[in-house]
DNA sequence: AATGAATGAGTGTTCATTCAT
DNA sequence: TATGAATGAACACTCATTCAT
């Protein structure tokens, strides 16, 4: 037994992450029903059986992917930003720059895609998400400062994140697409 | 039961339309792979076999739906509008008003959804669509008039229609959602 | 809809019974793990899918078969017999005649087989079965009458039914086997 | 680690025997199809791969077990006994005492179980077994001596060994079961 | 024409077997 | 030699499609 417990754990975690990562891309592009386990396994480059060593079923794998598609980092970023002594417009510029940069990474696009689709499927409305509310807070302040467009802050936040979702979709589906530029993204909220 | 030839034709056409209409909603919400014929039939309120009296296969039904999801009317509207002696801004306002009104109808939302997803799946890029090009034409003129935002007209058209797609999705998925208002939609293109 | 509700129910019940009957024979001969659904379906002469219209899973089908393998009729017979004004030896002769006659039917042999294997798998011992206890009651009386062999009545009942199980097995597995004759079966309990 | 050739051989033989012993118990209880190699390995307390160092396949392991379930010793015992100047009844008593004593050992019960099931699965009938024939020979003589029950000697031998199989099964499946006593076992054949 | 029970090709899942360590 | 993670052939199960009514 030349492997230490630690190395062993590492290998298992690596494989699990790999499956999650590759699967989320595949599911995001093809949907649940149109994704065959056999194709998925081939795409990842492992045997079908291997998937079942890490996940009980296709269903469970899918649920795990959805669970991982949280927005904790975005929320933290926005909340931290909100406290800084900057104009709302400047904050929105920072957020936009960050988001556009992150969208270069396909994994991030997948995360945005899955997260947004989750929100759509809960018919509770999109407005209960912390990410939306945090941005709405900044927008509200910006409107008082007079530099942002008028309108319900939550609806504007919704439009903003919706647009981000739009470009995440394009990232995933369209080869050689052109990313929205920062000024256009900011313009959604700016007067 | 001496029904006329005409009545027969009418009944067949009615059923065919009904299946197409209800199916397109179902496919738009659930995707192709996640839609079972048995569920679909139950949703429509007919037997599974009945679907096969009107369509050769699930695939053909889906293709028919995609074929119907054209944008001929939008293109006509925009092209007609383009020729009128109005400012680009006014034209965009007219288009926006029209689109927002049409989106009250779920069927229209389905059409927009399916059409956009079709474009996404062709990785040729979204920019070959006549609908996009027609709008881009108006934007180009508007930019010369100086009233619209700067930027590649085609990309701005893409943003515009993408946003429309976004609210079509919301219409389909979210009970009691609030539609984007005209001024916000116009603001996407206006300075 | 030319079928009445009643006819429809009848057809469903018939198919369900047919699957249960044929499956129990197949499972009894081959065991659960060695029985393939595809073989089973072929054996019954129906499609694989049909089995799943009536039973959720292979497991559930198996459980249903076990549930049906009760011994209610035997217990009733023995209890009724117990009350009659006959000698224990005569009663045992009647039971033996009945059992040997029933064993001509393969279905009965299957029932006995499955029932006995159920008892074996509960490691509670075989002695909690009503069928064993009812026979033990008759044996006890017979021992007082002096015509039966000595020994723990419950253990003798166990030997008796065990022997019946043995010949049920032979019925299922051996082509052209010779059934035990009544006098030999009775001799197990008679002095 | 300078182990001698002999020590190596010994270790290999020990492991092989251990796998055979534990597997035969497992197969006897669960059947071939219901026994998973992974469960079997866990039960034995070795890795799955280890089994394949000693046996080519699950099938071969099973065949090896069946091969070992011969009755050479019983046949020898009975044949030796047959020649002795004893009454048939005495011989049967000796056989019964021996069998009951051996059945204290679970391994012996496994052997009987597998051997009998082998006979059942050949639908050639149980009567071609040397063990059955050897006992039938003694029974035949006993009937002439007038001390044994009447009936076809081979069928009586069959009943006798079947009963032994019955108690082997109980030994394997039922915790705290009570073994048949010698007089009851002998009574099967005695008048 | 309309139905839904029946079918079997296709997909999800298991498990005997291999192989890197 | 011993291990158990990885594999893919084989099996359980689903669902698009057919067909008897």
Question: For C39-61, how does the pLDDT look when each residue is reduced to its tens digit (9 = 90+)?
Answer: 999 999 999 999 999 999 999 99
Average pLDDT over residues A155-183: 94
Closest of D136, D28, D119 to residue D75, by C-alpha: D136
**A182 alpha-carbon distance from chain centroid:** 18
- Domain end call among D30, D53, D68: D68
DSSP string, D86-130: S-HHHHHHHHHHHHHHHTTSHHHHHHHHHHHHHHHHSTT-GGG-H
Distance C8 CA to E2 C1' (A): 17
> Do residues A166 and A78 share a domain?
yes
> Do residues C98 and C118 share a domain?
yes
Please say if the pLDDT value at position A158 is more than 60. yes
- State which residues form the domain around C21: 5-68
Report yes or no: C66 and C113 within 8 Å, Cβ to Cβ.
no
Q: What is the CATH number of the domain that holds A53?
A: 1.10.10.60
What's residue A191's pLDDT? Answer: 76
Q: What is the CATH number of the domain that holds A96?
A: 1.10.357
Question: For B21-39, how does the pLDDT look when each residue is reduced to its tens digit (9 = 90+)?
Answer: 999 999 999 999 999 999 9
Can you tell me the distance from the alpha carbon of B95 to that of B186, in angstroms, rounded to the nearest whole number? Answer: 9
Q: Which residues pair with A190 in a beta bridge?
A: A148
Closest of C155, C69, C157 to residue C113, by C-alpha: C69
Average pLDDT over residues C55-83: 92
User: A106: exposed, middle or buried (C-beta count within 10 Å: 0-12, 13-18, 19+)?
Assistant: middle
What's residue B74's pLDDT? Answer: 86
> Do residues B96 and B181 share a domain?
yes
What's residue C8's pLDDT? Answer: 83
> Do residues C61 and C92 share a domain?
no
Nearest nt (C1') from C47 Cα: E7
Nearest CB neighbour to A174, from listed B35, B125, B188: B125
Lowest-confidence segment of D22-36, D39-53, D64-78 by average pLDDT: D64-78
> Do residues A91 and A47 share a domain?
no
Average pLDDT over residues C14-40: 96
Report yes or no: A188 and A160 within 8 Å, Cβ to Cβ.
yes
Those residues whose C-beta lies under 8 Å from the C-beta of residue D179, and which sit 6 or more positions away, are D100, D103, D104, D167, D170, D171
Distance A66 CA to E21 C1' (A): 35
> Do residues D102 and D156 share a domain?
yes
**Mean pLDDT, chain D, as a whole number?**
92
* pLDDT band at residue C184 using 50, 70 and 90 as cut-offs: very high
> Which residue's CA lies closest to nucleotide F19 at its C1' atom?
B49
Q: CA D85, D90, D95: angle at the middle one, nearest 5? A: 105
Percentage of chain A beyond pLDDT 70 is 96
Structure tokens at A10: 């590492």
Question: For B93-125, how does the pLDDT look when each residue is reduced to its tens digit (9 = 90+)?
Answer: 999 999 999 999 999 999 999 999 999 988 666
> Do residues D9 and D52 share a domain?
yes
What's residue D121's pLDDT? Answer: 87
Interface test with A, best of B26, B39, B126, B177 (most A CBs within 10 A): B177
Domain count, chain A: 2
What's residue A3's pLDDT? Answer: 54
Structure tokens at B22: 């209800």
Closest of C67, C76, C166 to residue C118, by C-alpha: C67
What's residue B126's pLDDT? Answer: 63
What's residue D1's pLDDT? Answer: 46
What's residue A2's pLDDT? Answer: 45
Report yes or no: D93 and D125 within 8 Å, Cβ to Cβ.
no
Q: How many residues make up chain D in this entry?
A: 191
Can you tell me the distance from the alpha carbon of B188 to that of B149, in angstroms, rounded to the nearest whole number? Answer: 8
Please say if the pLDDT value at position B55 is more than 90. yes
Distance A50 CA to F9 C1' (A): 14
What's residue A1's pLDDT? Answer: 41
What single-letter DSSP state applies at residue C189?
A: T
Question: For B118-167, how does the pLDDT look when each residue is reduced to its tens digit (9 = 90+)?
Answer: 999 886 666 778 999 999 999 999 999 988 999 999 999 999 999 999 99
> Do residues C97 and C180 share a domain?
yes
What single-letter DSSP state applies at residue B126?
A: G
What's residue B1's pLDDT? Answer: 46
What's residue A140's pLDDT? Answer: 95
D101-125 in b/e burial notation, b at 16+ Cβ within 10 A? ebbeeeebbbbbbbbbbebbeeeeb
For chain D, which residues lie within 8 Å of any Cβ of chain C, measuring from their own Cβ?
A: 30-35, 120-121, 123, 125-126, 149, 151-152, 155-156, 159, 162-163, 165-166, 169-170, 173-178, 180-181, 183-184, 187-188
Helix (H, G, I), strand (E, B) or coil at D146: coil
Nearest CB neighbour to A31, from listed B34, B123, B163: B34
Please say if the pLDDT value at position D141 is more than 90. yes
Can you tell me the distance from the alpha carbon of D73 to that of D71, in angstroms, rounded to the nearest whole number? Answer: 5
- Domain end call among A68, A95, A119: A68
Distance A2 CA to E20 C1' (A): 11
- Contact between D180 and C170 using a beta-carbon 8 Å cutoff: no
Please say if the pLDDT value at position C147 is more than 90. no
DSSP string, A32-69: STT--HHHHHHHHTS-HHHHHHH-S-HHHHHHHHHHH-
Average pLDDT over residues D140-147: 92
Q: Chains contacting D with at least 3 CB pairs below 8 Å? A: C
Those residues whose C-beta lies under 8 Å from the C-beta of residue B118, and which sit 6 or more positions away, are B66, B69
* pLDDT band at residue A93 using 50, 70 and 90 as cut-offs: very high
> Do residues B37 and B61 share a domain?
yes
- Domain end call among C68, C85, C116: C68
Q: Which residues pair with A148 in a beta bridge?
A: A190
Q: With residue B158 as reference, give the H or E element that holds it.
A: helix B153-173
> Do residues A87 and A108 share a domain?
yes
CA–CA distances in Å: residue D144 to residues B75, D137, D190: 109, 11, 13
Percentage of chain C beyond pLDDT 70 is 97
Query: Considering just the CA atoms, what is the radius of gyration of chain A in Å?
Result: 19
Closest residue in D to C181 (Cα–Cα):
D151
> Do residues A151 and A122 share a domain?
yes
Can you tell me the distance from the alpha carbon of B121 to that of B129, in angstroms, rounded to the nearest whole number? Answer: 13
Nearest CB neighbour to A180, from listed B159, B165, B183: B159
What's residue C65's pLDDT? Answer: 96
Closest of D69, D40, D70 to residue D55, by C-alpha: D40
What's residue A25's pLDDT? Answer: 94
> Do residues B87 and B52 share a domain?
no
Closest of D121, D113, D96, D115 to residue D172, by C-alpha: D113
Lowest-confidence segment of A170-174, C100-104, D118-122 by average pLDDT: D118-122
The pTM of the full predicted model, rounded to 2 decimals, is 0.91
CA atoms lying within 13 Å on the CB side of residue C115: 24
Lowest-confidence segment of C72-76, C138-142, D51-55 by average pLDDT: C72-76
Can you tell me the distance from the alpha carbon of B121 to that of B126, in angstroms, rounded to the nearest whole number? Answer: 9
């Amino acid at each position: 037994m030349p492997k230490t417990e630690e190395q062993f754990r590492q290998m298992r975690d690596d494989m699990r992450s790999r499956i999650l990562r590759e699967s989320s891309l595949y599911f995001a592009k093809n949907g649940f029903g149109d994704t065959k386990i056999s194709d998925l396994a081939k795409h990842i480059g492992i045997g079908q059986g291997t998937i079942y060593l890490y996940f009980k079923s296709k269903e469970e794998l899918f649920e795990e992917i959805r669970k991982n598609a949280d927005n904790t980092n975005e929320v933290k970023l926005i909340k931290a930003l909100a406290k800084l002594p900057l104009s709302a417009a400047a904050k929105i510029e920072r957020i936009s720059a960050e988001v556009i940069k992150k969208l270069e990474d396909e994994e991030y696009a997948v995360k945005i895609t899955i997260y947004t689709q989750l929100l759509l499927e809960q018919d509770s409305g999109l407005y209960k998400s912390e990410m939306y509310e945090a941005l709405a807070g900044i927008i509200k302040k910006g409107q008082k400062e007079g530099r942002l467009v008028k309108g319900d802050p939550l609806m504007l936040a919704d439009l903003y994140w919706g647009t981000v979702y739009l470009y995440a979709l394009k990232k995933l589906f369209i080869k050689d697409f052109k990313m929205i530029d920062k000024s256009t993204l900011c313009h959604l909220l700016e007067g």
